[in-house]
Amino acid sequence: METVELAGAGMVVSRVVLGLMRIQKLSDGEIRELVGAARDAGVTMFDHADIYGGPHGCEQRYGEAQPVPSSERDQVTIQSKVGIRAGFFDSSREHIVSSVEQSLAALRTDYLDLLLIHRPDTLVEPDEVAAAFDELHAGGKVAAFGVSNHTPAQLELLARSVRQPLVVNQLQFSVANAALVAQGLAANITGLDQSADRDLGVLDYSRLKDITIQTWGSLQKPPPGGVFLGDRENYPDLNDALDQLAHDHGTTPTAIAVAWIARHPGRMQIVVGTTNPARLREAAAGATVDLTREEWYRLFTAAGHTLP
């Protein structure tokens, strides 16, 4: 498994991340099989959020089924997210600290390696976020911090108060849902919807600031969502291209879809939220497949994006 260094955090983590938002209804044995498959494939990072499965539901299931012994805790990287509540967002100091305490109890661990603010809160008080981060960091409960779904200006607003580096930003991205790169490729093209900049240059900003992008929805199509793999009704050309490149590289279409993200020089981490161990192994294998420029752009256009 290829690794990525999280600049400013002193962490080296796996390129592929296992997202655990769908494990609440799995049995203990199924969770152990999934996590074991991830570890065997070289995945060392596991992604949670307090909202997954209801308040701390998936974290609770992970802690019950797969508690990490203290002697092995340094072998895995556990991150969680905070800020989404029922019907509103909450990035107050009180909620951040309280939710982390509950996450630690649910996960049965003493600390989180990473804590992300899950969504931009328009009522955010950056000094409150900073106070929460300071308290959690000083208490040894969170090692490093980041955000999810934030624009450059939203990051700058937090960074003005927060004393720890914001080391990751988790953003929606896949070959079928590729606005993150598609808008830049079509910049300044009049009358083309793809050229609209909806995230204010967050990709280039992240590269300039050494912020690692973590991709969520890595195998998903645009809303209403669903997996594009095998969807020949809506993505026939993309699936033909994935199949052909999988044959050429001696791997699977899932691996090629992951390799497409991994090929970007921004060195993104790829969050995969499958509960199928076989699909996870295929995704992990994709991090080692090297696509050429021609192959990357072939998939981009096969997904329906414009190359001016």
- Residues marked as catalytic: 52
What SS3 string covers 69-133? Answer: CHHHHHHCEEEEEECEECCEECCCHHHHHHHHHHHHHHHCCCCEEEEEECCCCCCCCHHHHHHHH
Q: Which backbone phi and psi does 61 adopt, to 5 degrees? A: -65, -40
Rg for the chain (alpha carbons), in Å?
19
Distance CA 48, CA 69 (A): 18
Token pair for residue 199? Answer: 């995230």
Q: Report the 10 Å Cβ neighbour count for 172.
A: 18
Q: Can you tell me the distance from the alpha carbon of 112 to that of 110, in angstroms, rounded to the nearest whole number?
A: 7
Calpha distance 144→6 (Å, rounded): 10
CA distances 104 to 56, 58, 81, Å, are: 10, 12, 12
Please say whether the beta carbons of 268 and 244 come within 8 A: no
Under 8 Å CB-to-CB from 2, ≥6 apart: which residues?
14, 15, 262, 287, 288
